[in-house]
């Protein structure tokens, strides 16, 4: 009985591993895009503000301040 479960366990492990790797690469891509593009951050503020808030918190936690304020200044000046 344990032999029939062994291939299933390997498939499950590989599936979980692939899902985690996709999540890591997806998070890296999203962070990198937000870190390099103010326009993308503006899009994120409209569609997914909670994700943008996590980005701002992580940047501020790492010691980089002022990005949130720069974004808000630019977006307010564009509205006028």
* Distance separating alpha carbons of residues 8 and 19, to the nearest angstrom: 16
Which pLDDT belongs to residue 7? 86
The three-class DSSP label of residue 7 is helix
45: phi then psi, degrees, rounded to nearest 5: -65, -30
Q: Are the beta carbons of 55 and 42 closer than 8 angstroms?
A: no
Q: Give me 72's structure tokens.
A: 């808000």
Local confidence pLDDT in tens for the 80 residues of the chain? 455 668 888 999 999 999 999 999 999 999 999 999 999 999 999 999 999 999 999 999 999 999 999 999 999 998 76
Q: Are the beta carbons of 30 and 51 closer than 8 angstroms?
A: yes
């Amino acid at each position: 009985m344990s032999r029939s479960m062994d291939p299933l366990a390997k498939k499950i492990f590989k599936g979980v591993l692939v899902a985690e790797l996709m999540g890591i690469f997806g998070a890296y891509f999203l962070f990198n895009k937000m870190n390099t593009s103010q326009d993308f951050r503006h899009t994120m503020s409209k569609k997914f503000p909670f994700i943008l808030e996590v980005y701002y918190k992580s940047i501020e936690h790492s010691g980089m301040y002022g990005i949130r304020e720069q974004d808000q200044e630019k977006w307010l000046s564009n509205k006028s």
